[in-house]
Amino acid sequence: MSKKSESELMSRRTVLRSAVALGAASLAAPVLAQDALQGVISAPGRGTWDDQFDAKGASRSAVNVATNNPVLGPAGVPNIQQAIFQYQEIVANGGWPTVNSQQVLRLGVSDPAVQQLRQRLMIAGDLPREAGMSNAFDSYVDGAVKRFQSRHGLPADGALGEYSVKALNIPADVRLRQLETNLVRLQSMAGDLGPRYLMVNIPAAYVEAVENDRVALRNTAVVGRIDRPTHAINSKVYEVILNPYWTAPRSIIEKDIVPLMRKDPTYLTRNNIRLFDGKGQEVAPETVDWNAPKAPNLMFRQDPGKINAMASTKINFHNPNNEYMHDTPQQGLFNKLMRFESSGCMRVQNVRDLVTWLLRDTPGWDRQSIERVIAARVNTPIKLAQEVPVYIVYITAWSARDRVVQFRDDIYQRDGNQELALQTTTGIERPSGSIDDDMLPQ
């Protein structure tokens, strides 16, 4: 054996001994950890592991996170209990290593930190043991990182940016306590939810339309920011309004609209907002003293249309908080990582799909009829033939039938550990002159 090959062999054995010390165990049991490492040692013809590429396997890793299994329902509690057992095993075997790197780790990078990353992903079950150990960020690692990101509600781009690294480095025992906290929340929702229902998961910022214990639709949402949170509640959707009027709450009139009118007297006209007195008579904006110490005692109502704060649709459910679901003219908000920007109401992407599902049993309201009314810009309230339950919940960790353990940021800081509030809204500045609920064009 040459000196070079001896050196490479010694180096590889050193790495593997290090992996054992750091607790590179699989989810199932300590024995599997040894099997995984032994597989790395004995696998034939793997060289230095630097040239591995499996595009199909990498893509499958990320895709497998997608599911039509609901968060709530009869399987929610036993599935999170199984996840708790798995994480107890991980904690008992020493947890996982911290991933530290001076550069952004992504496909094609070679860095010693990739070995830590591989161990971390193997232990959590995101990276198959056959991928082995090396400094190379190959397609196996790329697929595993995308899977990890998908499980944590992060953009599955395969690059380890700030939030991905923070999520990776939350200790296993903290994740275990997060699962235990959410077990209690899921147990409180373990009853009969009905054959058809909506669930809004606030930390995940999405809406599930569930039918016969399967997700029929999953819509991205924007929910309340930390200082104006969306309220958790069990209720029922009773009405859909196509081409809704938007009536500004008194707080928004005082805090937002009046200051805007002082800066720009054309603001109301440009945004199709009209003023009405107590008798229902329209009042011209130019007749109002916008510099008076108190805001005018008038109704501020925005006409239906493309720039309406609720755009095409409003979905009403019974609640004491004046909250509702609705469309928005600012569709770009759904592409943001942190979708915690409203005053409590929920903006819903592809809301017309959701409305079609809600109105399915209401005679005369198929998709074509809905689109025709929206195009006509006529305000049209529609009572549902049968009210649909809606459960607005705060679940930051869960596992569905697929046994994929999901985590989300503790955006409202209710899980008891500051480490879990990765994406806090406290440092986010609102756009200058923005209006909730929900933001009007400027």
The alpha carbon of residue 236 and the mean position of all alpha carbons in its chain are separated, in whole angstroms, by 23
Which residues are part of the catalytic machinery?
326, 345
* DSSP result, 27-38: SS-HHHHHHHHH
Say if residue 327 is preceded by a cis peptide, omega within 30 of 0: no
Q: What distance in Å separates the CA atoms of residue 279 and residue 301, rounded to the nearest whole number?
A: 14
Residue with tokens 């305000």: 379
Which SS3 state, helix, strand or coil, does residue 339 take? Answer: coil
Residue pair 111/103 in contact (Cβ under 8 Å)? The answer is: yes
How far apart are the C-alpha atoms of 174 and 421, rounded to whole Å?
Answer: 12
DSSP state of 255: I
Tell me the sheet residues that pair with 347. 222, 326
Q: Radius of gyration over alpha carbons of the chain, in Å?
A: 26
User: Which DSSP state fits 280?
Assistant: S
Tokens of 25: 């165990």
CB-CB neighbours of 306 under 10 Å: 10
Environment class of 228 (CB within 10 Å of its CB; exposed 0-12, middle 13-18, buried 19+): middle
Tokens standing for residue 312: 């095409």
